[in-house]
Every structure is written in C-alpha cells, then in structure tokens.
Structure 1
C-alpha cells in the first residue's frame, strides 16, 4: 500500500441534502490541506473533465479504461455528465467552485446492469490527488448509492497490475478472481445489503 492510502480525508456535510443522502455534496479536507467538493456530476462539468483528461498519464488512462485512450469522445462524455436517474450514478471530486468552473480531479461512476440488481463501477483519481484517501471516500459513496437503490452487488474489472485499485477494493471488502483469457484482468465484486 502506498504511503497515505489508508488515510481518509476529513469530511463535512454543509449542503442542502440529508447527511446520509448519497447524492449530497460534501466538503473534503485532504490530508495535504487541499479542500475539494465530493458531489454528483453536473452537465457543466463536461468541459473541465475533457480538459483534465489531457493531464492524465498514459498509465492512469490504461489502468482506468483497460487500454489506451487518447481523448474522451463527445458521446461518452455526454453520457458521463448526464447519468440516467436511478440507473447511473457519477460522483466527482472537484474544486469548491460552481460546476463548469471547477477543475475535476477524480471521477467515480456506477452503471446498473440490465438485470437491475448488479452494477459495474469505475474510479479514476488523477496522480495530482493520489494517496489522499479519495478513492476510498468515492467508493464508499458508490456503495451508499447502490444500497439505497436496491443493488445487490457491485463489480468491476481491473488490470492485475493496478495494485492500488485492487488494494482499495479489498480494503472495503471486495473479493477478486482472475478472468481467464482476459489478458491480465481480475474481477472484483462486493455483495451489498440493499435498503440499509
């Protein structure tokens, strides 16, 4: 585990929603002193997210998308910033500024599978924010949303050399298994208790 990976940011709940509402906005104070908002994505985040993508390293992109990606397509970006209510959930860690003005340094998404009771997740935390416990805070938010929406299992495919994502998922209680013929991927999954 990298230094600082086990340290969670300090969290406050200053916004309108209830403290246990998974779609709330929280102020996070990172261990290095920076302040971010952990909040649901907004359509206005599209341009800052597209711009921030160019700042990612090739390895960060490969580990998130499981293959090289040069830029986010308009279609993909549009779907990312306009999640379908009740089916998709996307949370971002951004500067404490209005959407569209705030730099976005991390994104976590959850897509409900067609069967309705499982969902795939993905998280990307840029190297500018790595090692601050942000991935764990975002994963916990995905779990909260999934349980509140009746999802029984979260799953994701991870490259087996993405040791930070594997360690994060295992720290939260995910199990893992090798995917035969996948070229070095593992599947991690977590059984949930919906409605808790």
Structure 2
C-alpha cells in the first residue's frame, strides 16, 4: 500500500496492492447512505466480526449514529472511493471512543473482504493509536472474536497483548500507551560579560 500527496489533517490518498485508489478521511454525516448500501455487500462473518453479533441490516438510525461521532471523545475514519462524501462507496471503517475517565479508549475496525489483506487494517489501526496518543489516552483496547485470528495476529504484531474476558467467544486485546514525554525546561540564559558593567 502506497501513500501519495499531502492532504488536510487525517486525509490521505492510498493505493492498494491491487491498484485501487482510496481516500482515508474522517467520517462524515453524508456517509450514512453509502454505509447502508455497503452493509448489504458484507458477508455474515464480516458483520459478526465487527458488531460481535449477527445483523441483517444497518438501520438509518444506526448509520447516522456511526457517522456523527462526538468530537470530544470519538474519532472515526473511513477508507472510501476518492469521491465526495455521500457519493463514495465506503470500504472500511475504523473507530475509537474514549471512556469518561479519559484513560481508556475502545477501538473497532471493519475492512470489507473486497479490500482485505492489503495492509489497510494495520494502517487504520496505527492512525487510531496515533489519535489516542494525541489525546493522552493510557490504554487502547478492543474486543475480538476468538475465531477472528487475522485480527488477533494484527493486534499482536502492533504490540497488543491478549486478555481473557468473561464473555464466551471473545478475547480482549490491549495496548498500553507510554505517557507523554515531559517538555524539557529551557535553561535560563547566562549573563554576558558586559551585563551589569558600568559605562
């Protein structure tokens, strides 16, 4: 996957290994309709891996909730066709939400099977972690089905550790983020030889 051109913050063009061009950008309210349309193209196992339970459709209300993240605590990216929001087909969604305590944030990623296996999930995960670091989050985690071995392998390759959960069939992957480095205090300037000298 190659990147090209400089874009506004959190916007970037990428070219996948199959030659397809995508635009990664923050999710927009206009994406609700295309997300509903893309949902019908997903396989049942893809839906279960993302939502952790079967779903027959993505309702308008659910789509609007997904496309209107709270800027104070949520961040969501889509990988879509390089067309205006509302017209572009959405092929992947990555979302992270900070808890009320400000210390932990939960992520979720869905990459369509049409563009899966080309490094896009890794790329999106790194963007979510980068955003979390900027918000001084201490821990990023996600719940993954035990059967979703590719997602578990991806998380492990990025430094996530695996934890057991009380819920059968689920595992929790956790990444502890290093605390932000304190800014180095500037040293006071030394007086010059002429400072305080009488003229």
After TM superposition, is the score higher than 0.5? Answer: yes
Question: Hey, what's the Cα distance between the residues in 2 that align with 1:79 and 1:141?
Answer: 21
The Cα offsets for residues 22-51 of structure 1, whole Å up to 9 and x where unpaired, read as: xx2011111111110111001111100010
Note the residue ranges of structure 2 that are not aligned, 5 or more in a row: 182-199
Q: Which residue of 2 aligns with 1:192?
A: 177
Task: Name which structure has the greater RCO, CA cutoff 8 Å, separation 6+.
Answer: 1
**Which residue of the other structure, out of 28, 31, 53, is the alignment partner of 1:42?**
28
Structure 1: distance between partners of 2:72 and 2:23: 22
Checking the alignment, whether the CA contact within 8 Å between 2:14 and 2:24 is kept in structure 1 is yes
TM-score by length of 1: 0.88
Aligned length in residues: 181
Instruction: Give yes or no for contact 1:94–1:104 (8 Å, CA) kept in 2.
Output: yes
**RMSD (Å), alpha carbons:** 1.3
In the alignment, the residues of structure 1 paired with residue 96 and residue 47 of structure 2 have an alpha-carbon distance, to the nearest angstrom, of 18
Question: Secondary structure in 1 aligned to 2:152?
Answer: helix
Report SS of the residue matched to 1:114.
coil
**Paired position in structure 1 for 2:51:** 65
Are 1:119 and 1:154, in contact at CA under 8 Å, matched by a contact in 2?
A: yes
Q: Highest CA radius of gyration, 1 or 2?
A: 2
- With structure 2 as the length reference, what TM-score do the two structures score? 0.87
Partner of 1:4: none
Q: 1:183 aligns with which of 168, 173, 179?
A: 168
Aligned equivalent of 1:5: none
Q: Where does 1:77-156 land on structure 2 (aligned, <5 Å)?
A: 77-156=63-142
